[in-house]
Amino acid sequence: MLTNAPEVVGPTRSPLASSARTLLLNASMEPLCILPLKRAVMLVMSGKATVLETDGRQLHAEHVSVPLPVVLCLTRYVHVPVRRPVPPTRRTVLARDSHRCAYCGGGADTVDHVHPRSRGGRHEWSNVVAACVRCNHRKADRLLHEIGWELSFTPRAPRWSVAFGTAATRAEPLWSQYLVA
């Protein structure tokens, strides 16, 4: 049976997955979006983007062979309007901290204000961390120095947008160096 779809040849020799995605970077190396594989190949074939990372497989057509793109970089800079900052919600704080408790390092499912709101702390990125229920309850509305605890990192706003959270780096490990939080 003959089809018009390109054949994927490589270590696995599996058919081309329709769910394959490609990270697109601006010419300044900042992440722009995640593309379907078909659009990524079109950008490479038209010369609008170059392949930075590949998984070793090749796309073969009748007259051309293209590496399967995992990360692309545009050849020309595209101006992107200023994106609004991501608000510190429960979901985004847990994503920034990789679902790890800032106090004990275990799995986190709540958020905690380092400087409690009852004592004038604000709900902002530099004051909110992921915490497990046990640590959150033990800390209550006290300051860290009152109970002898320390944070292993300084909380700050992430550089990624919601679309480029840590879930994206878990889905495709080759993207992690381009999606630094």
Write down how long the chain is: 181
Element (H, E) at 144: helix 144-147
CB-based contacts of 135, cutoff 8 Å, min separation 6:
101, 103, 104, 106, 112
CA 171 to CA 14: how far, in whole Å? 19
Which two tokens mark 20?
């394959």
pLDDT 10s digit of each residue in the chain, 181 long? Answer: 344 444 554 444 444 555 688 999 999 998 888 889 999 999 999 999 999 999 888 888 888 888 889 999 999 999 988 777 788 999 989 988 989 999 999 999 999 999 999 999 999 999 999 999 999 999 999 999 999 999 989 999 886 654 555 555 556 777 878 776 5
